[in-house]
Amino acid sequence: MIFGIEARDAGSRARAGVLRLAHGEVRTPAFVPLATKGAVRTLLPAEVAGLGYDMVLGNTVHLMLEPGPEVIADHGGLHGFMGWDGPIVTDSGGFQVFSMGHGTVADEVKGRGTTHGDGAILGIEEAGVSFRSYVDGDVRFLSPEGSMEVQAALRSDIALAFDECTPFHVSREYTETSTERTHRWLRRCLDWHAANGPEGQVVYGIVQGGVHEDLRRASAREVAGSGCAGIAIGGSLGEDKAQMHEVVGWATEELPEERPRHLLGIGDVDDLVRGVSLGIDTFDCAMPTRIARHGMALVPDPDSRWRINLLNVAYRDDRAPVLEGCPCPACAGGHSRAYLRHLVKQREPAGLRLLTLHNLTFVAGVMGRLRQAILDGRLAEESGALLSACSPR
């Protein structure tokens, strides 16, 4: 058993626990920063660990295309290649295949189309997926077994099973067919891994089913019944937050208590708070690092979606730090909003780094407060405080 529960919240499905993996422990609930191509953007591994993060996420498709699994395997796996000593989870590539055809989940829901340039899905079949590489335009093929083989070369602690991230704007019939294929792909992933997987690596299955309650619940039961070590919840979760929380709730209500649960691609502050109460143990999302590169900083203001845009002219002469009392290098180092605005406008790497450090510090603080509140038996009080004003402690 890789997951131990330390405390449960009496008023919700929340729990605090510890994931015990080949490269160390992960204290949950936890946020997992993205190291998509082998690095958390602009930061060194030691800096990420210094912020309190126990695990990072690498991506199978991106690392398969460049530099290639053979190169990473020659370094002893992704840990040696990127110099990260702690646990690593690798996404299977299913989401990237989805985004080549539809853009991100938000893009697809809003009808904005693809975001991967020349990358494109050429065909989704029982055997796997054909797609055109955004790196060189070559046609590539990825199967469940191929995804597992790449993740074995990466030697991640957690390998996610290959799935189709079912689009939002499809029929119920398509969603059902896609979800059933994802279940068959899961069995193929587990069979390949049982015969060939590296020692110490565990596999998470992925719940699909779109926004249909019966399909989501059935998928959760099917994935749980496969015997995988942990369970992730993925796919298009709805067109708004209320629907997303409802869909996640359907899944977690069906999942076994003793196995860890991961929510894929979700990281807004309110979604972290609500997700923890629904029984999610770990989350990953590009949000904190992505918005930093666009000049946005996380702050305790729900009315502004917990962020300010430092590129706004209002901050041109603002001598205040991003957030008083924040221990991050940007705020504690005495850097003003005006200075950070200047750096970002000039695309100075120092500004992008400082805002990334701030945003990840902020998210780590939120997760730390939620975990401690579960341990102390006061999650409802802390959740209410977080959703009204997330001041650092």
Catalytic residues: 91, 284
- Minimal CA–CA distance to 228: which of 161, 163, 181, 180? 161
**Best CA proximity match to 299, nearest among 278, 281, 320:** 320
28 close to 16: Cβ distance less than 8 angstroms: yes
Contact between 169 and 160 (Cβ < 8 Å):
no
Strand bridging mode 307-309 / 296-298: antiparallel
- Which of these, 364, 372, 245, 362, lies nearest to 301 by C-alpha position? 362
Do the strands 129-132 and 120-124 form a parallel or antiparallel pair, or are they unpaired? Answer: antiparallel
Q: Which residue has the tokens 């067109």?
A: 239
Tokens of 351: 């500004």
Backbone dihedral angles phi then psi of residue 122, each to the nearest 5 degrees: -105, -25
Distance between CA 170 and CA 168 in Å, rounded?
Answer: 6
Q: Are 169 and 108 in contact (CB under 8 A)?
A: yes
Query: What string of DSSP letters covers 129-197?
Result: EEEE-TTT--EEEE-HHHHHHHHHHHT-SEEEPP-----SSS-HHHHHHHHHHHHHHHHHHHHHHHHHP
d(CA 150, CA 128): 14
- How far CA 182 is from CA of 60, 148, 287, 365, in Å, comes to 17, 14, 26, 35
